Amino acid sequence: MIYRLYTGEDGQSHMEENYKPPQDVEKGPGLTWRRHESGDFIDWHIAPRKQYLITLSGQVEIGLGDGTVYTLGAGDAMLAEDLTGKGHTTRAVGSEPRISVAIPVD
C-alpha cells in the first residue's frame, strides 16, 4: 500500500491511504538507506523534504497530532510531504529492525 503524509490546512500532519502517485515520473537527487532498531523513537518532526519512504523490513508507527497511529510494514510506501506544521512522530516497532529507503522527489 502507498500512503501520503501531508500537512493539512489545520497545521497538523494527516495520512491519506491508497495514495495514487501522479502518472508523470517524479525525479529526485538520490536515495538514503536507514536502519532503526525496534524501539527507536523520533519525537515530533516534519519531513526534511518531499520524499518517498519504503519500508523493506520491520515495522514503523507514524503518530499524528490527533492521536492516530499508522503502522507500516515491509512493502509499504509513503509519500512524506508534511513540510510545515507540527509534524509527526516515528517509532520502529516489532521484533526486527526497520530497514527503509528514502527517495527524495523534486
Mean pLDDT over each residue of the chain, to the nearest integer: 92
Chain position carrying cell 516515528: 90
pLDDT tens profile 17-43: 988 876 665 666 788 889 999 999 999
Task: Say what the pLDDT of residue 25 is.
Answer: 58
Angstrom distance (rounded) from CA 2 to CA 16: 9
Whether residue 77 contacts residue 3, with contact meaning beta carbons closer than 8 Å, is answered with yes
Angstrom distance (rounded) from CA 45 to CA 5: 12
Entry pTM: 0.80
pLDDT tens profile 42-96: 999 999 999 999 999 999 999 999 999 999 999 999 999 999 999 999 999 999 9
Chain position carrying cell 517524479: 26
Q: Following CA atoms 14, 103, 95, 86 in sequence, which dihedral angle do they give, to the nearest 10 degrees? A: -30
- Which amino acid is residue 29, in one-letter code? P
- The order of strands in the sheet holding 32-36 is 13-16, 2-7, 77-81, 51-57, 98-104, 32-36
